[in-house]
Amino acid sequence: MPDLSNEVSIVEIEPLLTSGFTTCGGRKGICISAPKGAAGSRIKELFMETNKAHRALNRAIGDGCVARPLICQQCGKGGRIEGHHADYAKPLDVKWLCVACHKYLHSQKASSEYSGVLVSLTPAISRGLDDMGAPQRSAILKRASEAPQSAQAVYLKAACGISAPRSAIKAFCMMCVCWQRAEVTMCTSTACPLYRYRPFQDG
């Protein structure tokens, strides 16, 4: 895959690549391939918004309207410095961070609301949670904190509407039986509309 670092930070692209999202192209344009359906549309929307903000910032830097500092505003170290957007609708309003600090901000939430969530939050999950109202977000994070770490990412992606339907069914079934995989396999709720679609079936 070509180097897209001048268009969008790799910190923000990498988590999407692990979700069935791929890109091709170069400086003149990017072709996006994502899962079909609502999940794919949401991923594309998030990527395009991110890409648009970074393009605007790069143009401003190239035109001399914005100066990229030489050190990270978080840790004070030098090296590659990237602009972190708290709000992609404000492309020139950024915090200048080194790659390590940038990655940290995209994978962790400082609020105690996230304290029970043990998995790293991808930009897509973070944005999905940020787009929710406080009551819904709190309920989802509480439910995620009750799940084992191995199931948290699957649940959060489904709750944010960025997973494929099959993964969303997996999250629902796991949640239904208190996150016990064996219980999904041995499910006796034959009247459930998802019974025949449940994961972990033998054979």
pLDDT in tens, 6-58: 334 434 444 444 444 444 444 434 444 444 555 555 556 666 777 788 888 88
How many domains does the chain contain in total? 2
Are 175 and 144 in the same domain? yes
Are 98 and 139 within one domain? no
Q: Which amino acid is at 41?
A: S
Domain residue limits at 25: 10-107
Whose CA is closest to 92, among 73, 75, 67, 123? Answer: 67
Q: What is the pLDDT of residues 119-139, one digit of tens each?
A: 667 778 888 887 887 788 888
Residue 167: per-residue pLDDT: 92
Question: pLDDT by residue (tens digit) across 127-171?
Answer: 888 788 778 888 898 888 888 888 888 999 999 999 999 999 999
Residue 3 lies in a domain: no
Q: Which of 63, 86, 107 delimits the end of a domain?
A: 107
- Report yes or no on 173 lying in a domain: yes
82 within 8 A of 121, measured Cβ to Cβ: no
**Residues 157, 40 contacting (CB under 8 angstroms):** no
Q: What is the dihedral of CA 7, 15, 123, 26, to 10 degrees?
A: 10
What is the pLDDT, as a whole number, of residue 185? 92
Do 133 and 79 sit in the same domain of this protein?
A: no
User: Is 99 found in the same domain as 31?
Assistant: yes
pLDDT value of position 130: 78
106's enclosing H/E stretch is helix 99-107
| pTM passes above 0.85 | no
